[in-house]
Amino acid sequence: MRTIPTSLYHSSRPPPRLATICPLVPFCVQVHRHPCLRINQCRAFLKPPSLDSLFATSTPLRQLTHTRVLPYPCSSVFDALVSVDKYPSFLPFVLSAIVTQRDQNKLPARASLKVGYDAMGIEETWDSIVSAKEEQGIIEARSAEVEGGNEDGIFEVLKTKWQLHDIEDIRRQGVGLGAQTAVKLDVEVKFRSSMYDKIFAGVEEKVAGMMVGAFEKRIKELAGT
């Protein structure tokens, strides 16, 4: 029986050196099985999926609304709402707030906010585009990252809108009750993860009211009443 040379099984040439490989960049490795036979194998290193993507399904757009009449002039309510850098001192879940850009009237136009909610295991930082119109009594904020196409955050939609309306002095039995402001808060939120959405569903009815209540307390402190 003819003996097959061992050289047919193993190449005497050393394996090629591999260059440093950068993640996400496909690369080719030459595998030498025989001096006359080369096989090119292509592999791609991909970024592992995030936990959010594992739980991601279609989630509903949640719309929250809360209205309340506050016993303070519209200007005082407006000032509290646009004092974004003060939010961490009185607004629930806000860990930090930094105004990064102001408009020609020195009102916030862009801000970076960081929120955290232990019960949901959430800690998120995002840029917010702010539009404050004092004459109309409207303050709107929306996530800049969502509009920029960032798909890494937990929110697919995040918008807030405050509407303020002056109420003329009310007199009852000859007693002036002073200036009052009708406040309406609208919130639109849509999570990328169904897990976060289900947890939020248990508290959504309280969130808007909690925010308005926090601002009312803040205005009361500033007014010294």
Spatial distance between the Cα atoms of 192 and 156, rounded to a whole number of angstroms: 5
Spatial distance between the Cα atoms of 215 and 99, rounded to a whole number of angstroms: 18
Q: How confident is the model at residue 164, as a pLDDT?
A: 96
* Per-residue DSSP letter, 157: E
Q: What is the model's pTM?
A: 0.67
Q: List, for residues 96-117, the tens digit of each pLDDT value.
A: 999 999 999 999 999 999 988 7
Question: Is 59:194 a contact under the CB 8 Å cutoff?
Answer: yes
Question: Does 8 have pLDDT greater than 70?
Answer: no
184: enclosing H helix or E strand: strand 180-191
Question: Does 147 have pLDDT greater than 50?
Answer: yes
Question: Does 49 have pLDDT greater than 60?
Answer: no
> In terms of DSSP H, where are the helices of the chain?
51-55, 74-82, 144-147, 194-201, 204-223
* 224 or 91, higher pLDDT: 91
Read off the pLDDT band of 223 (50, 70, 90): confident
Of the chain, the percentage scoring pLDDT greater than 70 comes to 65
Q: How confident is the model at residue 217, as a pLDDT?
A: 94
Rg value, the chain, Cα: 29
Question: Cα–Cα–Cα angle for 39, 44, 45, nearest 5°?
Answer: 135
Q: Answer positive or negative: Cα dihedral of 161, 166, 170, 176.
A: positive
What end-to-end distance do the CA atoms of the chain give, in Å? 107
State the average pLDDT over residues 48-61: 61
Q: Answer positive or negative: Cα dihedral of 149, 154, 157, 159.
A: negative
State the average pLDDT over residues 176-184: 82
For domain 58-223, give the fold: Alpha-D-Glucose-1,6-Bisphosphate; Chain A, domain 4 (3.30.530)
